[in-house]
Structure 1
Amino acid sequence: MGANRIKKGERGEVTKYITRNKAIKRLQLSLHDFRRLCILKGIYPREPKHRKRVQKGNSEYKTQYYLKDIQFLSHEPLISKFRAQRAHLKKIRSALGKQDKHQYKKLRKTKPTYKIDHLVRERYPTFVDALRDLDDPLTLCFLFARLNKKRFLTEVMIMYCRRLTVEFMHYVIAAKALRKVFISIKGYYYQAEIMGQTVTWIAPHPFRPENTTEVDFNIMKLFTEFYICMMGFVNYRLYQSLNLFYPPRLAADEEQDIQEAEAEDRSESELERVLISERIACLNLNLQKSKEEEDEGETLDMHLLEESVQNVKMALEEEEKLNKFKNLFQNLKFFLGRETNMESLTFVIRSFGGQVSWDESVAEGSLYSESDETITHQIVDRPNVERKYLSRYYVQPQWVYDCINARMFLPVQDYFPGVTLPPHLSPFDIITDLYVPPEKEKLEAMKRGEIPVHAFPQEESSDEESDDEILGGDEEAEEDVPEEESENAEEEKEPEEEIDPEKKKILKEMEVKPGIHVRPKDTTWKDEQDHYRLSVSMIPRKKKRIYRKLKRQENKQFCKAENLRLKRLSIEKEKAKKAENVKKNKANQEKKLLKERTKQKAQ
C-alpha cells in the first residue's frame, strides 16, 4: 500500500501550472524569444487560485503558465526559425571578431526571416473575431505611426503603421461607420460600427511624443509586429466588402496609377513599397471601386415580416434616423485653417458626408480656395480672423465634434472665435443615471424641442429682464394709486376690523379646531429592510463574493457621482463669488469716477 501512495505535488492543481524558467528550459529558448513567441501566439501568464499549493508551500511570487499552453507552444514551427536567427547572430559576431568584412556583408544579406500569417488565422478563426479584437491593434498602430525612428524601431515599421491607419480611415469614410468622437488629454477617441461590431480606438494628438524610459518599447514592438500582419488582412477584407481596390487607388487618377504600376521596377527597396502617397494620406479624395454597385431598392429582412407591424415601424424609424445621422454634414462645405488638426477634422467631416478643403500651400488635396463663396463653415482656432466673409460661419473645431455627439446642429454662436466654449461632454458616460450635468440636461431638452436650437443665449437674460420690468411696473402702479382710492379702500376695511370684544369671545368659543388624528406607525421601511436581509442571507456562500463585489462597484459609482456633484457645487460657488467681486469692483470704479467728476465741476 505504501509503494502505491501518491506523493505531494503529483496530483491536483499543481500539475496544471509550470513556472516561466521551467518553460524556457523545456522549449530551449532565450527569455527574449520566449516572450516573442508567447506574444505572437497569444499566451499569457495565469494567476492560480491557491498560489501556495501550486508552488508546494513556497509563498514567493513566480510567474506561472498553464502546462497545456507550453505543450501547445512546443509544436510551433517558429521555434526553429528563432533558433536559426540565434545561430546566425553568432556567426555575425564571430565574423566581426575575425574582422572578415566579406563574410560579414554576406551574412547580413542572408538573414533568416519568418512569416506569421498562419498565426492570424489560428487566433481568429472568423472575421468577426478579428473585428472584436481590433481596439488594441488600431490604438497601437496609430501611436507607432507618430513615433520617431529609434534604434529598436525601424522606419519600415513606422511607415507600415502609417499606411494601415490611413487605409482604415478611408474605409470608415467610405462606409460612413463613425458614430462617436471625443477629445481628451490622451488624444482623440473614435468609435465606429463595423459589420455590427463596435470598434473604439485612440489617435494621438498631432505632435511627436517625447522619448520616455518608463515604457518598454521592445515589448510593444513585438505586439505591433503581429498587429501589422493582422491589420493587413482586416483592411483587405473590409475593402473587398465595399468593392474597393486594395491597395487603395484614387478614383480621379485611374490611368496614371495603371501607368505607374506598369513602369515599377522590381528592384525597389522595401521602404519605397511601404510608402503611401500624400494624395491618399490627405483623406480628401474618393477611392476607386473595382465594381459598380447596382442600385437596389429597400428590402426588409424575412424575420422582420414575421414580427408585429409596430416592431417593423420602429425598425424603419431607427434606420431613417441612422441614415440622417450618417449624412449630417451633407451639402455643407468646410474650409480648415492651417492651425487646426486637419487630419482629424477631414476624417470626421467626410465620414458624415461633408466636403473639406484647405490652403494649397499647407498640404496636397485642396479642392477649393478660401475665396469660394459656396463655403458654409470655416473652422478657425484663433481669436481673431483677418479677412471675413459674410456668406459663411466662423466656428471653433469643437463645434464639429459636439454636433456629431449630439446628432444635431448646435447653436453656432456658442462656438464663435474667441468665445469661451461650452463644456465638451463625453459620449462614453458610464455614470449617466447617477449624475447628469446641467449641460447634458439642456442638450436633451434641445433634442426634445423644449429649447429652440437657434436661440441666442442672450435672449434668456432679456426675458428675465422683461419679467423684472413687468413686476417692477406693477409695483410702481400700486405705488402710484391716487390717495382718494387708497382712503376709500381703508374705509372699506375698517368696519371688518371694528368688532365688539364680547362678540370676539363668543366667536372664539364657537371655533371648531381640527382633531388630531393618530396614525399608526409606518412599518413598510422596516419590513423592506428585513426582507432585504433575509434575501441576502439566502444567497449561497459561493455567490456571496460576487454579490459583495457588485455592491462595492455600485457604492464606488455612487461615491464618484456624489464627488462630481460636490465638485460642481464648489465650482458654481466660486463662479458666483467671482461675479460678485466683479460687480463690486465695477460699482466702486463708477463711484470713484462720479466723485472725480463732481470735484472737477466744483473746481
Structure 2
Amino acid sequence: MGRIKKKGTSGATKNYITRSQAVRKLQISLPDFRRLCIFKGIYPREPRSKKRVSTSSTPSTTFYYTKDIQYLLHEPLLNKFRDQKALAKKISKALGRNEVSDAARFEKNLTPKLRLDHIIKERYPTFVDALRDLDDALSMLFLFANLPSTENVPPKIIAKCQRLTMEFEHYLIRTNSLRKSFLSIKGIYYQATIQGQDILWLVPYRFVQRTGGDVDFRIMATFVEFYTTLLSFVNFRLYTSIGLVYPPRFDAKSEEQGAELAAIQLEVQSGNADADMQDVTATQTNEKAQTEADRLLSLPDAEPSEEPQTNGDAAAEPVDGETETQDTSTTLDQFASLDPKADTLLQPSLTADASTASKLFESFTIFLSRETPRHPLEFILKAFGCKRVGWDTSLGEPGAYCSEDDKRITHQIVDRPDIPLPSPPLTDGEADMEDGEGGAVVRKSNERVPGRTYIQPQWVWDSINAGQLQRADLYAPGATLPPHLSPWVKAKRGEYDPTVPLAEQETAAEVEAAEAEEDEVDEEDADDALAEASEGEEIDGVRGDEEARALEDELEDEDGGMDVELAGSEDEEEDKPTDAAAGAADDDGDFGGFSDNEADADVDAATRAARDHQAELEAEATGKGVAAGKAGDKKKAAREVSQAKRTRAEREELEDVERRKMMMPRRKRKMYEKMVYSNARKDEEAEVLRAKKRKIEKGGGKKSKA
C-alpha cells in the first residue's frame, strides 16, 4: 500500500498561498505587505478552482504564487520595515513618558530611508523595458502634479511630481519626440515616440480638484513613490543621451511667478560640448532624406528597366565627371493587393516624423490670450518647432516672448466669440485727440489687429494630428469647429468613418432605402400641396360668392330701395326720348331698368372669372399630380427590379454559405456563427450612424436652401 500524502503538499495547493499566510510568513504588517508587493510588482493571482487550492473549509478570496512570496523573503526592504516598526515603538514609549523632545529627536535622526534603486534595476533590466512601462507612471505623476495639497497629499510630493514632469516635457521639446495629442472629456492625451517606443499618457485639465473620501491615498502614495524613482532614472538616461546636465537648474523664484516650463534651464555637459552640433547634423541628414523622398514621389512613373536592379550593398559605377557618393535616402516598398475586393494594405510612410514636427510651427510667432490653457499650448507649440510663444501677463510674466501689441505676432489663439474688425481710420482732428505722447494710436481692447490670424485652440491639435497646417478660416473665432476626432481610432472596412463622404461608405440597400424614403416624402409633400391648393380654391370660391353678394347689397343700398321704374323715369326725364321710341319700348316690354342689368352683368363676370380660375388650378394640380405619380411609379418599378436582383444574389450567396457550413466541424461552425453575429452588430451600429449623418446633411441642405 502506498504512502498517504498529506493535504496541501502537492498539486495546485502547493503553487498558491493565501494573503494571511504570506503575511505570517514574512512577519510584517498588512500595509507593509501591500507596499512591498507594489514595489516588487507582485499581484494577486486567480486559480482555476479556489476549492481545490484552499486548505480551509471556506475558500479564500486572495491568492499569491508561492514562489513570489518565497522571493520576497530575501528583500532588503524587509529590514527597513522592521526598523520602522521598532522606531514606532520607541516613539510611542517616549510619548507615553511625556518625553516629546526625545520622540521628535528619534523621528528626525532614526527614521530609516527607503531606497528603491535596486528594485528599479531588477524590474527593468534594460532601458527599453522602462520605457514600455512608462505610461502608467506618467499618468499618475501628472495627476499628482495637478492635485491641491491636503493632509493626504503633502506639498513636497506635488512639487517633486511637477519638477519631474516638466523635466520630461523639456526633453520632448528638445528632441521633438511628441507625435499626437487628443482633447477628451477625461483630459489631454499625449503620445511620444522615444527610441522606437510609443508612450501614451493622460494629463488632467487644470480645474479645482475635489478629492473624495473613498480614495485610498496610501496605495496611491506608494505608487507615486515608486514612479518618481522610475522617472528620475529615465530622465537621467534621456538627458545624458543628448548631452545635457541632469538634474537641470531649477529656478524656484521664477516658478512662483508663473514661469512653469521657463523655470527649468537646460545646460550642456562640459565633456559633450558638441552635442548640439550632433543634433544639428542629425536634423540636416533627416531633412536631406525627406527632400530626396519628396523628389522621388514627385517624379513620373518610370517604365521598368530590363536590367536587374543592384542590391543596396553593391555600389553602382559612377558616371564620368561625377564623384562617387553614398545615397542616404531610403525608398520604401509599396504593397499592392491582387484582389480588388480585399482590404487596403497599409503603406509605409516616407515622412520623417522628427523633421516634420520640428518645422510645423517654426515660422510662426504665436500669442496666447488669457482665456486659453497656457501650459498645454506652450508645451505643444514648442514641441512642434515654435520658438516664439507669448501670453498675457495675467498668465505669468516670466518667459513670455512678446506682448499682445507686438507687431511680430503672426497668429493669436483665442477662445471667445467673434472679435470685431478694427474701426475705420480717424480723421486728422480725431487722430490728434486720440494720439498719445509717442504719436501712436491706442488700440481698443477686444479688437482685431490687421495682418494677424485669429484661431481657436483646436487648430493646434488638429494640425499636429494631421501632420500639416489646417485651414485657419475653419477655426476662426465664433465659427462652428470641425469634429475633433481621436488620432488613434482608425475605421475598418464596413465601419462608419466620419472623415469619408457618405456616398463612399453607403451600401446599395441603404441607398435604395434612402431613395424610397425621399420619394415617400416627396409624395406626401405633393399631396399636402394639392390639398392646400384645393382648400385655397374653395376659399377663393366662397370669397367670390361673398363678394358678389356684397356687391349686390351695395347696389341695392345705392338705389335706396327704389324700384327699377323710378330709375327708368329719371333716365327718361334726363334723356327725354321721343314718343315713338317710348311707345316702341313700352310695347316690347324689354326695357326694365338699365342699372339692374349692369349690376347683374358685373356679378356674373366676377363669378365666372372665379370659377374659371378654380377650374384652371384644379386642372393644373391634377396634371402635375398625374405626372409625378407616373414618375414615382417608374422609380418604384426600377427599384423593385434592382431589389429583386439583389435579393436573388443574396439568396444564392446564403445558400452557398449554408452548404459550406454543413461541411464544417461543430466547433468551427459555432465560432463562425459568433463571428457573423458580431459583424452584424457592428454593421447595424455603422448603419445607424450613417443614417444620423444623412439626416444631418439633409437638414443642413434644407436650411441652406431656405
CA gap of 1:320–1:435, structure 2 versus 1, over 3 A, is same
**Distance across 2 between alignment mates of 1:97 and 1:554:** 73
Q: Does 1:409 align with 2:469?
A: yes
8 Å CA contact 1:329–1:349 kept in 2: the answer is: yes
Secondary structure at 1:141 match in 2: helix
Count of residue pairs brought into register by the alignment = 477
Q: Does 1:48 align with 2:82?
A: no
Number of the residue aligned with 2:294: none
8 Å CA contact 1:285–1:365 kept in 2: the answer is: no
CA gap of 1:7–1:89, structure 2 versus 1, over 3 A, is closer
Q: Does 1:368 align with 2:375?
A: no
Number of the residue aligned with 2:62: 63
Cα RMSD (Å) of the superposition? 3.6
Structure 1 position 7, deviation (Å) = 3.8
Structure 1 position 97, deviation (Å) = 2.2
Q: What one-letter code is carried by the residue in structure 2 that aligns with 1:80?
A: N
**Distance across 2 between alignment mates of 1:397 and 1:71:** 54
Secondary structure at 1:314 match in 2: coil
8 Å CA contact 1:163–1:276 kept in 2: the answer is: no
8 Å CA contact 1:382–1:417 kept in 2: the answer is: yes
Q: Does 1:441 align with 2:500?
A: yes
CA gap of 1:394–1:523, structure 2 versus 1, over 3 A, is closer
Number of the residue aligned with 1:389: 449
**Distance across 1 between alignment mates of 2:314 and 2:130:** 32
Instruction: Encode CA deviations 1:418-469: one digit per residue, 9 max, x unaligned.
Output: 112111111121554442333x1269x9xxxxxxxxxxxxxxxxxxxxxxxx
**Distance across 1 between alignment mates of 2:199 and 2:5:** 51
Structure 1 position 64, deviation (Å) = 0.3
Q: What one-letter code is carried by the residue in structure 1 that aligns with 2:488?
A: F
Q: What one-letter code is carried by the residue in structure 2 that aligns with 1:573?
A: K
CA gap of 1:58–1:197, structure 2 versus 1, over 3 A, is farther
8 Å CA contact 1:279–1:285 kept in 2: the answer is: no
Structure 1 position 50, deviation (Å) = 2.1
Number of the residue aligned with 2:177: 177
Structure 1 position 568, deviation (Å) = 5.4
**Distance across 1 between alignment mates of 2:172 and 2:212:** 32
Number of the residue aligned with 2:516: none
Instruction: Encode CA deviations 1:219-264: one digit per residue, 9 max, x unaligned.
Output: 11111100000000000101111111212249xxxxxx9xxxxxxx
Where do 1:463-474 residues align within 5 Å? none
8 Å CA contact 2:374–2:395 kept in 1: the answer is: no
8 Å CA contact 1:180–1:192 kept in 2: the answer is: yes
Number of the residue aligned with 1:80: 79
Instruction: Encode CA deviations 1:478-531: one digit per residue, 9 max, x unaligned.
Output: xxxxxxxxxxxxxxxxxxxxxxxxxxxxxxxxxxxxxxxxx9998665444444
Number of the residue aligned with 1:314: 332
Q: Does 1:10 align with 2:9?
A: yes
CA gap of 1:234–1:583, structure 2 versus 1, over 3 A, is closer
Structure 1 position 11, deviation (Å) = 1.6
8 Å CA contact 2:176–2:357 kept in 1: the answer is: no
Structure 2 unaligned blocks of 5 or more:
290-310, 316-326, 334-347, 420-445, 505-647
Number of the residue aligned with 1:196: 196
User: If the length of structure 2 is used for normalisation, what is the TM-score?
Assistant: 0.61
Secondary structure at 1:305 match in 2: coil
Of 378, 382, 385, 1:346 maps to 378
Number of the residue aligned with 1:566: 688
**Distance across 2 between alignment mates of 1:554 and 1:279:** 57
Instruction: Encode CA deviations 1:192-233: one digit per residue, 9 max, x unaligned.
Output: 100000000000001232111232221111111000000000
Instruction: Encode CA deviations 1:248-303: one digit per residue, 9 max, x unaligned.
Output: 249xxxxxx9xxxxxxxxxxxxxx89x96768723598733222234367499xxx
Of 262, 285, 288, 2:267 maps to 288
Structure 1 position 390, deviation (Å) = 1.6
**Distance across 2 between alignment mates of 1:371 and 1:198:** 40
**Distance across 2 between alignment mates of 1:234 and 1:533:** 58
**Distance across 1 between alignment mates of 2:58 and 2:673:** 31
8 Å CA contact 2:356–2:467 kept in 1: the answer is: no
Q: What one-letter code is carried by the residue in structure 1 that aligns with 2:65?
A: Y
Structure 1 position 402, deviation (Å) = 0.7
Number of the residue aligned with 1:209: 209
Secondary structure at 1:414 match in 2: helix
Number of the residue aligned with 2:141: 141
CA gap of 1:314–1:33, structure 2 versus 1, over 3 A, is same
Number of the residue aligned with 2:411: 377
8 Å CA contact 2:415–2:456 kept in 1: the answer is: yes
8 Å CA contact 1:336–1:379 kept in 2: the answer is: yes
**Distance across 1 between alignment mates of 2:175 and 2:204:** 23
CA gap of 1:94–1:48, structure 2 versus 1, over 3 A, is same
Secondary structure at 1:190 match in 2: strand
CA gap of 1:123–1:320, structure 2 versus 1, over 3 A, is closer
**Distance across 1 between alignment mates of 2:664 and 2:497:** 35
Q: What one-letter code is carried by the residue in structure 2 that aligns with 1:389?
A: V
Secondary structure at 1:441 match in 2: coil
CA gap of 1:80–1:307, structure 2 versus 1, over 3 A, is farther
CA gap of 1:558–1:115, structure 2 versus 1, over 3 A, is farther
Number of the residue aligned with 1:356: 389
Q: What one-letter code is carried by the residue in structure 2 that aligns with 1:411?
A: R
CA gap of 1:61–1:430, structure 2 versus 1, over 3 A, is farther
Number of the residue aligned with 2:312: 305
Number of the residue aligned with 1:221: 221
Secondary structure at 2:366 match in 1: strand
Structure 1 position 374, deviation (Å) = 2.4
**Distance across 1 between alignment mates of 2:132 and 2:175:** 18
Q: What one-letter code is carried by the residue in structure 2 that aligns with 1:327?
A: K
Q: What one-letter code is carried by the residue in structure 1 that aligns with 2:391?
A: W
CA gap of 1:559–1:325, structure 2 versus 1, over 3 A, is farther
Q: What one-letter code is carried by the residue in structure 2 that aligns with 1:353?
A: G
Secondary structure at 1:200 match in 2: strand
Structure 1 position 577, deviation (Å) = 6.2
8 Å CA contact 1:378–1:395 kept in 2: the answer is: yes
Structure with bigger gyration radius: 2
**Distance across 1 between alignment mates of 2:314 and 2:257:** 50
**Distance across 1 between alignment mates of 2:673 and 2:214:** 36
8 Å CA contact 1:339–1:380 kept in 2: the answer is: yes
Structure 1 position 312, deviation (Å) = 3.2
Q: What one-letter code is carried by the residue in structure 1 that aligns with 2:373?
A: N
Of 394, 400, 403, 2:460 maps to 400
Number of the residue aligned with 1:241: 241
**Distance across 1 between alignment mates of 2:199 and 2:406:** 37
Identity rate, percent? 40
Where do 1:13-162 residues align within 5 Å? 13-55=12-54, 60-110=59-109, 111-162=111-162
> Mean alpha-carbon deviation: is it higher for 75-84 or for 207-216?
207-216
**Distance across 2 between alignment mates of 1:401 and 1:68:** 48
Structure 1 position 9, deviation (Å) = 3.1
8 Å CA contact 1:189–1:201 kept in 2: the answer is: yes
Secondary structure at 2:170 match in 1: helix
**Distance across 2 between alignment mates of 1:311 and 1:436:** 38
Number of the residue aligned with 1:419: 479
CA gap of 1:560–1:215, structure 2 versus 1, over 3 A, is farther
8 Å CA contact 1:284–1:350 kept in 2: the answer is: no
**Distance across 2 between alignment mates of 1:523 and 1:225:** 65
Structure 1 position 378, deviation (Å) = 0.4
**Distance across 1 between alignment mates of 2:673 and 2:354:** 37
